[in-house]
Each structure stands twice: as C-alpha cells, then as structure tokens.
C-alpha cells in the first residue's frame, strides 16, 4: 500500500484519491487509536466535497465510539482553537489549504491542536493497511458516538483571537486594512476580527466559495489585485490568506509585499527577547535573515525538516517560543501550537501600534535577501538513487566558501557570504527542488544554476530522466 500521509496530512484529487470512503476509514482508525472513547471535533474548508468528507470523517469517528462535535466550515486556526479550549481528544479537518481547488486533504489533529507527528501517522498507516478482519471489532451499538453541531464556532474563535492582543490600543490607530481571503474560510472571520479591532476594512475575493478568484497560495506574484487595492485606497496595509487561513502575507502602504522571511524576522525580533527559551524553530528552507536577526538579539535558531508536523515536533521537543515557515506560517508557541493567519494579522497590528510605526518602516530594519527556486520533475522510482548520486557529487563540488552543511532534509550548504543552496526531493510529489537564498539576486540565481547543473549531471550518471 503506498504511503498516504505526507508532510501535511493526506492529500490528493477530490473524490478520486480523497474519497468519502477514505475519510471514513482514516477517522475510524484514528478513533481506534484513541481507544474507542473520547471526544473529537471535525471541520472543513470551502471546497467542493469538503463538507461530505467531513461528514464521512464524523461517521468514521462515531463508528469507533468517539463523540463528535461538528465545527462546520472554519479556518484551521479556528478548529484548533475550539479543540484545545474545549478539552477535546483530537480532531479531523478536511482542507486543501493552498492547493488548487480540485485537490483536498485530510488532516488529523492531536488534543493540543497540532498535526499528528510521524509516529502517530505511521500507526494509522499500519491500521489502514490491515484487512477489515484484522482491525479491532466495531463498537457495540450502544457505544456508537454522539453527534452535535458546535455552538457558535466562528464567534467563539473570534473572541479567542481578540483575547491575544490589546484591542483597545489597536483601535487608537484606526487602521485601514485591505484583505484578500481568496474566497476561503477567512471570509467567515477576518473582516469581523479587524472591524472589532477598530479597523476600516476593504475586501477582495471575500465571498466564500469552492473556487477562489485568485490562485489559492498567497505568494507575492498572485497578490496583484491586493497590491493595487491597497495603493488605490491609500490603506495602511493589506493581508492575503490561503483557503484555510493558516498562511498570511502582508502588503505595505506602497503596495510592496513583504517576504515571508522578512515577516518571520519581524515577529522573531519582538517575540524572542526576554522569552523563556529565546529559541526560534524553522525549516531548512528559511532565509539566512532569521539567523542574522536572532544573532543580533541574543536568540538562537534550530532548523527542522520541511512541513508543519516536523516544525511542531521540533517546537515541542526544544520548548521553543516561536517558529515560522517560509510559506507564510507563523507560530506564537506560548499561545498556540498551530499557525494561524488571522492571529498573525492581529499580532502585526498590535506591534505596529505599540511602536507607532508603519509596516514599511518596520520591514526596513532588515536586510533584504533573495530566493530563487527551481522545481524539476523526477519519477518517484528514480528519486532515491538520483539523490544518492547527488550526495556523492555534493561531497566534492560547489565547495568554495562553504561554511556548513545540513542534511536533515535533503542537502543544504551554507556559505560564508550568508547564501545557501538546497537540493531536496519532495516527500509527496515526483519532484526535486533546487532552492537558493542570498543577499544578492545574482548570487541566488547563480547558486540555483549550479545546483541544477549538479543534479542533471547526477541524473546522467544514473540514467534518470528529468523535466522542468
């Protein structure tokens, strides 16, 4: 049986790979894993089929003896908040996050709101591979779990979000904010959160629907409408999220999109001084800017593998105060073990108010770094032997200026000029990624070109076929 769980749950084509039968079976074995008793939440995003999959997950949990509370359509941060504040034992979220609208995922949550780690995913995989006869027997009829709809889930989520910042202080600024929730779950909460914080809100793509009116992943290149709206409205800033609202990007008053790494550094500089561990966790594809920032404030950085489960596992293991991912995810670890774009948006307004600064002035504190990314197709059957050959060449090539290597997830080489090169095979797709980060765009482009040349030479060595 091919592995189902990747770096962020189980993902695939809606109603073809991710079916109601699969959602039911995953939820059922999770209920067995929980000991066939307890309470779980379920929820879903705005995509076609998401509600049906969530209902199937609810049925699977109930068939395993779990009482279910259905949160309906809700952001990722919302279901995690209700899960933890309500003392539930776990949950299942159906969301495609930043993926195209015809793809979706099944996310299994722990009682602390975090994605399940690899060991739990492995245990569920093993149960899913069993025949029906080998699984634990079904619970008797009198132990089938109950089902209720959550009480005012969005309103309770909004109240919780506002409790994490000084709302009265933010109101004094009277921010004008343009939001672009991409027709996703943030449409249910973001505008109301900002209005209750005293903001004037202009919105784009703000009607919830199954197909977003812009590309779902909030990257600088797809936020043109948001950038234009911010400048035309003479707004203070803009916020763009993905479909499940765990990611957020910020746009300053001049229409410039802050890089995700710059935003990560902004939060690190404010969160880490005086914190318990003075430790930031981030995946290996994070810019060298975060190391530079943490060194300046006497904090330290620990790198982890890419993906939300690996980030949260490292946060827990190291007792970190803060984490971020280059995809636009920010973790305020003493408050939540999940990333929440709406919470990050409020945190940004709070710090801008406290410091009486604009977003552009705040971002100007940091050196600019540039990333260049290349994604190359390689059949899954060839990835392992190709990466083994890449490693052999890696040991004797691209060595000039090398400072250190990290091999926790692919091959990452850092250089004395604060640049790095990463060659990494995707764990969920037939792809190999070649990324570079540097203080100068030409340096980043040159490193990616060198990394791709090394990869193609290794492919020739082992007879593997690559395609861009």
Per-residue confidence band for 131, with pLDDT thresholds at 50, 70 and 90: confident
Other C-beta atoms closer than 10 Å to the C-beta of 15 total: 14
Domain 370-467 in the same topology as domain 5-151: no
Residue 272: phi, psi to the nearest 5? -80, -40
* pLDDT range class, residue 240, cuts 50, 70, 90: very high
Which is more confidently placed, 380 or 148?
148
CB 107 within 8 A of CB 79: no
Question: What SS3 state is found at 123?
Answer: helix
- 332 three-class SS: strand
- What's the confidence (pLDDT) of residue 307? 86
- Fold for domain 5-151? Alpha-D-Glucose-1,6-Bisphosphate; Chain A, domain 3 (3.40.120)
Q: Which two tokens stand for residue 259?
A: 């890089």
SS3 track for 263-298: HHHHHHHHHCCCCCCCEEEEECCCCCHHHHHHHHCC
For residues 7, 10, 11 and 12, what is the CA-based torsion angle, rounded to 10 degrees?
A: 140
In this predicted structure, the answer to whether residue 459 has a pLDDT above a threshold of 90 is yes
Examine the pLDDT at 294 and tell me if it is beyond 70: yes
- Cα radius of gyration (the chain): 22
In this predicted structure, the answer to whether residue 7 has a pLDDT above a threshold of 80 is no
Q: Which of 138, 123, 6 is CA-nearest to residue 63?
A: 138
**Neighbour-count burial for 299-330, b at 16+ CB within 10 Å, e otherwise:** bebebbbbbbbbbbbbbeebebbbbbbbbbbb
Both tokens of 28, joined, read 């059922």
Adjacency order of strands within the sheet including 300-304: 300-304, 279-283, 322-325, 329-332
Tokens of 35: 């000991």
Confidence of residue 134 (pLDDT cuts 50, 70, 90): confident
pLDDT the model gives residue 132: 79
- The residue assigned the tokens 């780690």 is 117
Q: Classify domain 260-363 by CATH number.
A: 3.40.120.10
* 15-28 residue pLDDT tens: 999 999 999 999 99
62-86: average pLDDT: 98
Does 428 have pLDDT greater than 80? no
The whole-angstrom separation of Cα 348 and Cα 176 is: 13
Residues 156-252, CATH architecture: 3-Layer(aba) Sandwich (3.40)
154-178 pLDDT tens trace: 999 999 999 999 999 999 999 999 9
* Structure confidence by residue, pLDDT tens digits, 201-231: 999 999 999 999 999 999 999 999 999 999 9
**Longest C-alpha distance within the chain, in Å?**
69
Residue ranges per structural domain of the chain: 5-151, 156-252, 260-363, 370-467
DSSP3 helix / strand / coil % (the chain, rounded to 5): 40, 25, 35
Give the pair of three-digit tokens for residue 341.
Answer: 């774009």
Residues 430, 164: Cα–Cα separation, whole Å: 41
pLDDT of res. 2: 64
**Angle between helices 260-271 and 341-355 in degrees, nearest 10:** 60
Q: What pLDDT is attached to residue 430?
A: 85
CATH topology of domain 370-467: TATA-Binding Protein (3.30.310)
- Render pLDDT for 327-371 as a digit per residue (tens, 0 to 9): 999 999 999 999 999 999 999 999 999 999 999 999 999 999 999
Nearest alpha carbon to residue 420 among 370, 468, 365: 370
């Amino acid at each position: 049986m091919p592995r189902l769980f990747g770096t962020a749950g189980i993902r695939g084509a809606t109603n073809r790979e991710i079916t109601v039968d699969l959602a039911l079976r995953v939820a059922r074995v999770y209920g067995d894993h929980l000991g066939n008793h307890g309470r779980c939440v379920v929820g879903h995003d705005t995509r076609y089929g998401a509600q049906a999959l969530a209902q199937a997950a609810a049925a699977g949990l109930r068939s395993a003896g779990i009482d279910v509370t259905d949160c309906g359509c809700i952001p990722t941060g919302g279901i995690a908040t209700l899960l933890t504040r309500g003392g539930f034992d776990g949950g299942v979220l159906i969301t495609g996050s930043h993926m195209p609208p015809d793809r979706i995922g099944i996310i299994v949550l722990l009682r602390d709101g975090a994605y399940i780690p690899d060991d739990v995913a492995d245990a569920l995989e093993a149960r899913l591979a069993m025949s029906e006869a080998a699984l634990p027997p079904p619970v008797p009829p009198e132990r089938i779990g109950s089902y209720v709809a959550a009480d005012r889930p969005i309103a309770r989520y909004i109240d919780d979000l506002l409790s994490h910042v000084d709302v009265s202080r933010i109101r004094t600024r009277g921010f004008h904010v343009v939001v672009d929730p991409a027709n996703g779950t943030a449409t249910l909460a973001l505008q109301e959160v900002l209005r209750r914080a005293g903001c004037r809100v202009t919105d784009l793509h703000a009607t919830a629907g199954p197909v977003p009116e812009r590309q779902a992943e909030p990257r600088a290149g797809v936020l043109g409408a948001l950038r234009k709206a911010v400048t035309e409205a003479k707004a203070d800033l803009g916020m763009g999220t993905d479909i499940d609202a765990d990611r957020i990007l910020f746009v300053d008053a001049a229409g410039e999109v802050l890089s995700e790494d710059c935003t990560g550094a902004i939060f690190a500089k404010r969160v880490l001084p005086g914190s318990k561990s003075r430790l930031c966790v981030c995946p290996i594809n994070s810019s060298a800017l975060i190391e530079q920032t943490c060194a300046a404030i006497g904090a330290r950085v620990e790198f982890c593998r890419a993906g939300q489960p690996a980030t949260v596992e490292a946060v827990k293991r190291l007792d970190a105060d803060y984490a971020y991912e280059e995809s636009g995810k920010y973790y305020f670890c003493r408050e939540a073990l999940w990333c929440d774009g709406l919470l990050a948006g409020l945190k940004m307004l709070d710090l801008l108010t406290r410091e009486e600064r604009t977003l552009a002035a705040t971002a100007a504190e940091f050196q600019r770094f540039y990333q260049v990314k290349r994604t190359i197709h390689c059949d899954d059957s060839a990835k392992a032997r190709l990466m083994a050959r890449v490693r052999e060449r890696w040991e004797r090539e691209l060595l000039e200026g090398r400072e250190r290597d990290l091999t926790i997830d692919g091959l990452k080489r850092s250089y004395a000029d604060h640049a790095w090169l990463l060659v990494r095979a995707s764990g969920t797709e037939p792809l190999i990624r070649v990324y570079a980060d540097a203080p100068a765009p030409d340096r980043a482009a040159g490193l990616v070109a060198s990394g791709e040349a090394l990869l193609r030479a290794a492919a020739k060595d082992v007879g593997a076929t690559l395609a861009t």
